[in-house]
Structure 1
């Protein structure tokens, strides 16, 4: 475990000093130390867990050290964060975690900081995580206490509380549980029945989804592009768009990268004897779209263009997927460090772009065509506020009943189960998925049909 702590400290340094994403930093460190590949699971658990609870660990460290974090060396802070997580949230015995932290401080940072690390580690070990949260909650208002209890910044806790009331705590705690890989078969390339039956479990609501005991990279259908990794929520919103479309004509994925929804939509479009134009503004993400749709012999064209200045004519498409850039607050369980590197200004800075893209998606629709406005965020500013603004500025769009369409999609799955409540208070025609209710990312869906001239 001393090797694990050393590797994890290097990853945390890249995350906190260089603002690297945790998954990319982890891959980089493990590539540099191939002799430690056997430690991947342990390092991943330690790094991801520490990143999720980083704000709480920072509060604990400040209380235990009686200093501000800015008064400590950055490397010492990262080491103490990992040590705090090992003591408070993992199975590591406190005396082992403390001793390994001291050894690391002495040999990897500087002998003079070993005493400080020892003292702070010992103080951290005097309480459990629940006891630290209770102690640190004294004097906080209800939102700050909720944020601390669930290990989120205040502004995210406030956003969830606004949407869910007392249910917000369950939703926030669900963000702390690692998401299990969900896979999808590509329609027209294979069916669920084509997969080995003893290793495959169909998803509850998506007719194309499944889970497997194998790693995705070990599944032949994933390697050759007939299947892929895709959250069930993303599968549901893409299938809902295809279900809602009754006009004829080509389909458009306005912001297609990295390509999961596009790959599913290609197969569904081909069933309707039409094709998909997959657009992405970033060249490297456009390459990912092309890679994800490579197994289809036809039915898709990938281009690289700004969706606000399109490379296509208006009034052309029977279906438009507008999965717009967003804060990603609905996928925090997949991105352990994301909650601490974003703030409320990041959301506010995206809403203008989201509305512009929604307008362009609507302009691209032919009469009778349907657009899916999708975000992987439950925040009102990125969801219902954008839809309200779009409808206030146009008179050619009608909201469809997205909850009803999602229920129809779920009815076509193997289980035939009804979806738990997807409603949004005050907006009965749009839908919101949640990790704690549905086991999916927190995907928002609005379906809009353009009136025929």
Structure 2
């Protein structure tokens, strides 16, 4: 996708006869990614890195392009309110992306006003044409009259009248997402003011996440990942957090598959799934929704010294290939491609269901997800999650344990799914999942569910529940 899109865009430029080559490569790369997100439903984290490599953008220019792209996409909802306030007659999508980039430089980055505005004018001339250049110049000059806080005061409802609406604009989250996160926080333990806790979570969602690596046990040691600016993870003994950026693929252990890039919350899911106490044998493990393979690789690495065999199932063939690549150095792993709802295999001792979800727990690293998801997506995903969990229980032998996880704290996708599956069943017992993660002390006494949070644990907002088949 990263290679195809610029080619199509370049052809469109040639048809318009627009001048080319007047914009610095970093800003042009950011613009091309925004157009791919808008037109092709692309993902920033998949499109931007190869585009930067293909165009030879590195060092400080690559860092600038990364912050400009991620920051613009992350805050685009709030920027759109400002732009629509200034241009109520409407803005064409390509011009809007130029204005979003310029607005982020003015309000969200320390780019001098003249540089942010003049480069945006050059960008629209190059990418769209001469006609909207004056419009872009005029709108951005108006944006520059106020700072971001003042603009929020102008376009957001007052906090005393509509605190959720205010937080939605201030922290650039759709209102329905803010409401869902508020409800999820309220369902667990809270300290202090609930709105302050919610604001802290939304603020954490807008902070670029630290790159976290996993040293797959038996293949690599955390010492091998100790590059400049690295430090141990908070909770996983296999985690290393990078503090100075850099390309993880430059690390030998990552490049050859002995280590990988994996959020510490995802590592904790694998640790919980492999440490829950069983009744009986512990030799057959299943990852029911294994793509793209990070949890499967860590699970397989933990299985190997215990003599356990892992079956990693993934419904999508291209994602199954990613799983196979992730586990290629690990013994006794079988990758299969099947719909997890109808998978037929002999019973397993452990089953992990890392179910497809809205991804509301990973908004830090997937900036486009908050604007792409809709409330109506939840119902369809819940039906899928429920079916996968039911099948996971059926594939678990008596005495075995199912670990259900989502990268979303939405109550319907988390405890709602678990409680629906438990209702009316006498062959399943809900376990206290916090017991499987004693290294996270603030989880103690909060069970039976585990809910991690970016603002409390520095991880994605992973949910974990565990069930034992009687």
How many aligned residue pairs are there?
432
TM (norm. structure 1) is 0.90
Q: How big is each residue's C-alpha offset from its partner over 1:403-426, in whole Å with a ceiling of 9 and x where there is no partner?
A: 22212xx2xxxxxxx4334776xx
Q: How big is each residue's C-alpha offset from its partner over 1:28-64, in whole Å with a ceiling of 9 and x where there is no partner?
A: 64466x2545532211111110000000000010112
Give the alignment partner of residue 232 of structure 1, picking from 232, 253, 264.
264
- Compare 225-234 and 5-14 and name the one that shifted more: 5-14
Give the alignment partner of residue 334 of structure 1, picking from 352, 365, 382.
365
> Which residue is 1:17 aligned to?
39
SS of the aligned residue for 2:442 comes to coil
> Which residue is 1:414 aligned to?
none
Instruction: Please say if residues 281 and 306 of structure 1, whose CA atoms lie closer than 8 Å, have aligned partners that are also in contact.
Output: yes
Instruction: Please say if residues 285 and 309 of structure 2, whose CA atoms lie closer than 8 Å, have aligned partners that are also in contact.
Output: yes
Question: Structure 1 residues 105 and 199 mapped into 2: Cα distance closer, same or farther (>3 Å)?
Answer: closer
In structure 1, runs of 5+ residues without a counterpart are: 411-417
> Which residue is 2:79 aligned to?
57
> Which residue is 2:414 aligned to?
383
> Which residue is 2:189 aligned to?
none
Q: How big is each residue's C-alpha offset from its partner over 1:334-383, in whole Å with a ceiling of 9 and x where there is no partner?
A: 11111111111111210011000001101111111011000000000100
User: What's the offset of the Cα at 1:190?
Assistant: 3.1
> Which residue is 2:5 aligned to?
none
SS of the aligned residue for 1:59 comes to helix
1:394 and 1:233 mapped to 2: Cα distance?
Answer: 30
Instruction: Please say if residues 76 and 100 of structure 2, whose CA atoms lie closer than 8 Å, have aligned partners that are also in contact.
Output: yes
Alignment of 1:253-402 (within 5 A): 253-296=287-330, 298-313=331-346, 316-402=347-433
Alignment of 1:44-83 (within 5 A): 44-65=66-87, 67-68=88-89, 71-83=90-102
- Work out which structure has the larger RCO, using CA pairs closer than 8 Å and 6 or more positions apart in sequence: 1
2:269 and 2:338 mapped to 1: Cα distance?
Answer: 23
Question: Structure 1 residues 2 and 332 mapped into 2: Cα distance closer, same or farther (>3 Å)?
Answer: same
1:334 and 1:423 mapped to 2: Cα distance?
Answer: 30
User: What's the offset of the Cα at 1:201?
Assistant: 2.4
1:310 and 1:86 mapped to 2: Cα distance?
Answer: 50
Q: How big is each residue's C-alpha offset from its partner over 1:92-123, in whole Å with a ceiling of 9 and x where there is no partner?
A: 11122122222333444232322211111111
Q: Is 1:251 matched up with 2:285?
A: yes
TM (norm. structure 2) is 0.87
Q: How big is each residue's C-alpha offset from its partner over 1:211-242, in whole Å with a ceiling of 9 and x where there is no partner?
A: 34663212111122221111111111111121
> Which residue is 1:413 aligned to?
none
User: What's the offset of the Cα at 1:154?
Assistant: 0.4
Q: Is 1:221 matched up with 2:253?
A: yes
Q: Is 1:88 matched up with 2:107?
A: yes
> Which residue is 2:16 aligned to?
none
- Compare 113-122 and 301-310 and name the one that shifted more: 113-122
Instruction: Please say if residues 215 and 225 of structure 2, whose CA atoms lie closer than 8 Å, have aligned partners that are also in contact.
Output: no
2:254 and 2:222 mapped to 1: Cα distance?
Answer: 13
Instruction: Please say if residues 225 and 251 of structure 2, whose CA atoms lie closer than 8 Å, have aligned partners that are also in contact.
Output: no
User: What's the offset of the Cα at 1:180?
Assistant: 1.1
Q: Is 1:162 matched up with 2:193?
A: no
SS of the aligned residue for 1:372 comes to strand
1:18 and 1:423 mapped to 2: Cα distance?
Answer: 45
User: What's the offset of the Cα at 1:200?
Assistant: 4.8
1:2 and 1:190 mapped to 2: Cα distance?
Answer: 40
- Compare 245-254 and 21-30 and name the one that shifted more: 21-30
In structure 2, runs of 5+ residues without a counterpart are: 1-22, 186-193
> Which residue is 2:13 aligned to?
none
2:297 and 2:47 mapped to 1: Cα distance?
Answer: 28
User: What's the offset of the Cα at 1:194?
Assistant: 5.7
1:86 and 1:108 mapped to 2: Cα distance?
Answer: 18
**Structure 1 vs Structure 2 CA RMSD:** 2.0
Give the alignment partner of residue 146 of structure 1, picking from 167, 181, 196.
167
Instruction: Please say if residues 323 and 375 of structure 1, whose CA atoms lie closer than 8 Å, have aligned partners that are also in contact.
Output: yes
1:423 and 1:120 mapped to 2: Cα distance?
Answer: 53
1:104 and 1:308 mapped to 2: Cα distance?
Answer: 48
